[in-house]
Structure 1
Amino acid sequence: MGGSYNYYIVALSVVIAILASYSALNITTKISHASGKSKYFWLLAGAFIMGEGIWSMHFVGMLAFHLHTEVRYDIWLTCLSMLASIVSSFIAFYITMPKNIVWYKIAIGGLFMGSGIVIMHYIGMEAMIVQAHIRYDHKLWVVSAVIAFAASFAALFLFRQFRNQSSYSWLKWLSAIVMGAAICGMHYTGMLAAQYEAHGSLTTGHNTPSVDVFLLYGVTVTIFAILFISWGAMFFDRHVLERMAYKDSITGLPNRNEMNRFFDTYEGSDSIAVLFLDLDRFKSINDTLGHNIGDLLVQQVGLRLQQFIRRDQMAFRIGGDEFLFIVNSGDLARIEAFAKDILQTIKKVYHIGGNELYVTGSIGISVGSIQENDRSILLKTADTAMYKAKGLGKNQYCIYSDEMGTREVRKMELEKDLQLALEQKQFYVVYQPKWNVRTNQLYGFEALTRWNHPRLGHVSPSEFIPIAEETGHIIPMTRWMVEEACRQNKLWQSQGVAKPVSVNLSTRLFETDSLLDMIHGILTSVELEPEFLELEITESMVLHDIDDIIRQLLEIRKLGVRVSMDDFGTGYSSIGLIDRLPIDALKLDRLFTNDLDTPSKRAVIHAIILMAENLHLDVIAEGVEHQEHIDFLSQLGCYVMQGYYYGKPMLIETIEQWLKDHPGAGAPENE
């Protein structure tokens, strides 16, 4: 007994198999990007679509086959065949779910998928209620099973290779076609293996469709509905929800979520370059012109950066004024040229809201393989290199090196040990004298903090002071420092040396709004007259809330405490505020002292001294090391000197000997 096929319906069954395969494989791409319970939601969805697609293809294929007799189906066996295809699909997808997977696990997944196809087919055949006995050709039966296993393995392998490509990539369609071939090839080879032996009482009914035929048509329509609904859900997820979750709303660039997804799904072994870009002094623009202008500036920067996006170059906005580039190449020459192009593009003028803005960027570069390094290492090292670039003067790029990493480890260690250093009294104070050359007498001392680390030895202040300011430890350190300087000053007064001692202040002290109470409390506790304490501030404070700083300084000066500006003339323009700042003295940075033989430098110093005289401010020159320095400065009208010529920063014991060696040190000063 033989049968015939309706080839239009055969074509329909092939289309169903391919569409179901594509939908299922596309849905399971979400597994790689999802986490937690959502991962299993997409896994179940993919298995359901795949299983339903296999099952529907089989029964549509059966609809295309005409035995010229009435065919009915056992409902329980039919449901069991559907369950077999869904469960096998779930197991196959679950096994191949991890990002990093070896080939034999793909083979196991293919085994389960192929087994599901074979089991579903032959249970479906067993569900047929027909007036004939079905006998199978064993060779063709084996061929049908081999086709199912081989094609399933190939489809899963292709899917693993290309699942991170675009949803409409021909590579994914190739995976779906191969999977469809596995289903259809197995089905029609299995049908070819089946031989029907009619019973004696055979009744033909090929012109009278049975109820089961209408049910099969209903199943077909339902499956198409499931496929279209799943495609609609994927389209909405990919083009609406995904855009909201993975695109930055201001710049249109991919955001931090997209960056994390890239690292989660990247499986290449080649080196990549991570470029961390941070805009220089963006906070000043944001604070002075408002966040709306700041957002518009970030938007325009983002538009300029989009021109650098290529197939092997990706750009992300990861927050605020921070951007990240990933380049699929370890070629340093190309990466450096790329960084230069970015910096050159960013520094061009911006016209925003009637403002002409100029902004630069600093870029940190880290090169490595994700297979060899954790992503956090590449990001952290790029961030470290970026801060190094800022330290070099901004508008520069810097490539991370092992030496830089060693410094970073040391910085972290010092940061961790700062609190312990305060508790164990590892800090100590040294004093450097200031000398008045006109009266040939001691003018005062500057107190400086030093750190004797129990394991690392003496740590430079230029290394630990910035860390202390960043962490906030500078506040208790300064409190301790002022108290130590005041106690020592009180002791010197009892020995006949009554000179002021100056202590450096950090901006962090002004932010606490408790500086006045701290100074007053220490002076009262030590019983030191306020005029014997001098506080040194820096020009960088003018970048903060200058009105609040002036208010606090006025209150401190009302106590009788002197205030001086340290490192005057080094990088910040405070000339316009100098008449408003309640200070008593200006300290010329050693930058001026080291270049006194230059006529232009002497002219600048002379101008500063004349300005200070008009404002009734003392001028103190730092970095005085030679007699020539003294002669030049004296001729220009500067008479108070501080530097190695008169003495290095010294311990208390050394200072006492120094005082004995300088007779004018203990005598009162008469201007």
Structure 2
Amino acid sequence: MATDEPTAETVPRDSRTGLANRDAFYRDNAPLVEQALAEGRTLVLLVVDIDNVDFALRTFGPRERDEVVRAIGERLEATAPAGVYPYHIMQGRFALVLQDTPYQRAVQVERALLEACRQPLEIQGAPYRLEALVGLSHFPHHAETLDQWVRAAVFAAHQARTTRSGYAIFDAGWDQRDRQRFRRLVDLDEALQHGDEICVAYQPQVDLATGKCTGVEALCRWDHPREGLIPPGSFLPFAEQSDLIGPLTEAVVAEALADLAAWRERGFDGEVSINLSPGLFRDPELQDRLMAHFRFANIDPEHVRFEVTETGIMEEPNWGINTLAAFRSRGSRISVDDFGTGHSSLAYLADLPVDELKIDKHFVQGLAYPWGEAIVGASVTLADKLGLATVAEGIETELQQDKCRELGCGKAQGFFTGRPMFRADFEAWLGLSPAAG
């Protein structure tokens, strides 16, 4: 049992820490779980993850890494309640089991373990501070089996990493969202293979001086066969963290260029703006693949503007600058989206291969206040000095539009000028003549 002191001769142990290992954990706790189910008892599992163990290996070497792991094991033994013994179940992961422990007491133990792990170690005479995460799961409230119980505690540690709190208790809502994320990734992969679920909505961009629509931003939409139209915020963020962002971007590019080609034949002389994820910057074949879509649609690159967020450029500055410069050399223009919300310096901005700043909607919608007017005005002045065009995003009222025009902003985009529309609705909004045939 987990709370009976193990016998050294019979317990499988980790050679570095001397603690009971993964095999011992499952051997000890499988009957404990069965007993808890049979007798209505409660168990708490605490999983301790040390994030930067491998950093010690890269920086100092394997001996020092093992010393870090051994020291953490000693701290956990010293901090654990009497009769509770830690298991070393993976390289930087430990587990402790509490029996019949009140909730508040379990949380106190969780916090104490976190604090013990975060105290700096000394390695080769230098202080080394560890990044520790602790997850807590309750049996049988959070799980019905031993494997589910372990997964719940590991997931709670992941929650702690995501929330930057250091420790967390398993949250079924988080778990459900994570499972939904996985299912949607699988569905998105299938959708990209079938090619009939990913569609594009277009939001007009209007010249503030003339009122003319000078272009559209192509916005990705997913018409899921069971869930219906899924908002972009519910699938784009995790698509950007997967290999699917490349095919997804190509699907948007292909449809947007085909539509633009059809519109140009019917008299529309504007351009289309397409978003680029920073996750694509390291793809060496990106430019060639997208240029193939230009040739297929018979669209000149100068009629396409690629948008990338300020933060996105700064995440991958070298790769980002090279990628954007390559597209720009082919004739496409580059916009910095959500300008003002990132962390690039003004000196750095002057060196970026960009043509336009899109002023973030937060500042545009604050134009009724002095701070909003000051920031939008300063952004327009900066853009003018750098020879860049400007677009005010998120315009929702006539007052905001008039103020942006007064401050010298070039173009407007937002619900007031035009909501995102699918192809047929945009064509009607624009007043294009019916397609031939």
Match of 2:233 in 1: 462
Is residue 415 of structure 1 aligned with residue 146 of structure 2?
Answer: no
Displacement of 1:515 in angstroms is 1.0
* Matched residue, 2:6: 166
Q: Does 1:292 align with 2:59?
A: yes
Matches of 1:586 and 1:353 in 2, distance apart?
Answer: 49
- Which SS does the other structure have where 1:274 is aligned? strand
TM-score between both structures, scaled by the size of structure 2: 0.79
Deviation of the 1:501 alpha carbon:
1.0
2:284 corresponding residue in structure 1: 513
Q: For 1:489 and 1:544, how far apart are their aligned partners in 2?
A: 31
Alpha-carbon distance in structure 2 between the residues aligned to 1:388 and 1:371: 15
Q: Which whole-Å CA distance do the structure 1 matches of 2:408 and 2:122 have between them? A: 46
Aligned partner (choices 62, 72, 90) of residue 302 of structure 1: 72
- In the other structure, the counterpart of 1:525 is 296
Q: Give the match's secondary structure for 2:239.
A: helix
The aligned amino acid for 2:293 is: I
Change (3 A) 1:485 1:274: farther
| Cα distance, 1:422 vs structure 2 | 1.8
- Classify the secondary structure of the residue corresponding to 1:647: coil
Q: For residue 583 of structure 1, report the CA deviation from its aligned partner.
A: 1.9
- Asked if the contact 2:281–2:316 (Cα under 8 Å) also holds between the matched residues in 1, the reply is no
* CA RMSD across the alignment: 4.1
Alignment CA distance shift 1:162-1:563 (3 Å): closer
Aligned partners of 2:203 and 2:218 also within 8 Å: yes
Offset of residue 563 of structure 1? 1.8
CA distance 1:580–1:384, shift in 2 (3 Å): farther
Structure 1 pair 358–405 and aligned structure 2 pair: CA distance change class (3 A): same
- Which amino acid in the other structure matches residue 588 of structure 1? I
Identity of aligned residues (%): 27
Contact 1:431 1:446 in 2 (8 A): yes
Determine if contact 1:384/1:408 at 8 Å carries over to the other structure. no
Query: What CA distance in whole angstroms lies between the structure 2 residues aligned with 1:588 and 1:520?
Result: 28
User: Take 1:304 and 1:630, find their aligned partners in 2: how far apart are those partners?
Assistant: 64
Which structure shows the bigger proportion of residues in helix conformation? Answer: 1
Which moved further from structure 2: 586-595 or 650-659?
586-595
Name the structure 2 match of 1:442. Answer: 213
Runs (5+) with no aligned partner, structure 1:
1-160, 169-233, 662-671
Matching of residue 561 in structure 1 with residue 328 in structure 2: no
- Pair 1:375-2:146 in alignment: yes
Aligned partners of 2:91, 2:22: CA distance in 1, in Å?
11
Shift of residue 659, structure 1, vs aligned partner = 0.8
Per the alignment, in what secondary structure is the counterpart of residue 566 of structure 1?
Answer: strand
Distance 1:322 1:607 in 2: 50
Superposed displacement of residue 430, structure 1: 0.6
Task: Note if 1:611 corresponds to 2:382.
Answer: yes
Q: Which has a greater percent of strand?
A: 2
1:534 and 2:301 are equivalent in the alignment: no
Relative to structure 2, which stretch is displaced further, 476-485 or 336-345? 336-345
Amino acid at match of 1:418: L
Normalising by the residue count of structure 1, what TM-score does the alignment of the two structures yield?
0.54
Tell me if the contact between 2:287 and 2:327 (Cα under 8 Å) persists in the aligned partners: yes
* Alignment CA distance shift 1:580-1:409 (3 Å): same
Describe the superposition over 1:288-315 as per-residue Cα deviations: whole angstroms up to 9, x where unpaired: x993179979939938963533336555
Counterpart Cα distance in 1 of 2:241 and 2:418: 31
- Counterpart contact for 1:361–1:395, Cα < 8 Å: no
Asked if structure 1 preserves the Cα contact closer than 8 Å seen for 2:142 and 2:149, the reply is no
1:546 pairs with 2:317: yes
| CA–CA separation in structure 2 for the residues paired with 1:341 and 1:595 | 45
**C-alpha deviation, 1:326, in angstroms:** 4.3
- Bigger radius of gyration: 1
1:429 corresponds to: 200
Residue range with higher mean Cα deviation, 444-453 or 433-442? 433-442
From 244, 248, 264, the equivalent of 1:477 is 248
Counterpart of 1:627 in structure 2 is 398
Post-superposition offset of 1:462: 1.3
Q: Which moved more, 1:263-272 or 1:490-499?
A: 263-272
Matched residue type, 2:419: K
Provide Cα deviations, 1:228-284, integer angstroms capped at 9, x if missing partner. Answer: xxxxxx4xx87xx8341xx45xxx87665565455456455133333455678x69x
- TM alignment of 1:27-38, pairs within 5 A: none
Q: Which secondary structure does the structure 1 equivalent of 2:270 belong to? A: coil
- Give the superposition deviation at 1:561: 1.2
Task: Report deviation, 1:353.
Answer: 8.2
- Which SS does the other structure have where 1:528 is aligned? coil
Which of structures 1 and 2 has the larger relative contact order (alpha carbons within 8 angstroms, sep 6+)? Answer: 2
Task: Note closer, same or farther for the CA distance 1:597–1:333 as it changes in structure 2 (3 Å cut).
Answer: farther
Residue 271 of structure 1 contacts residue 330 of structure 1 at CA under 8 Å; is this kept in 2? yes
- CA pair 598-322 structure 1, distance change in 2 beyond 3 A: farther
**Equivalent residue letter for 1:299:** V
Aligned residue type for 1:509? L
CA distance in 2, matches of 1:381, 1:321: 18
- Indicate conservation of the 8 Å contact 1:312/1:328, yes or no: no
1:489 shift after superposition: 0.9
Aligned residues between the structures: 423
| Distance (Å, rounded) in 2 between the aligned partners of 1:634 and 1:316 | 66
- Find the aligned partners of 1:375 and 1:581 in 2 and give their Cα distance: 54
Point out where structure 2 has 5 or more consecutive residues left out of the alignment.
433-437
Instruction: Quote how far apart the aligned CAs of 1:331 are.
Output: 3.2
The SS at the match of 2:350 is coil
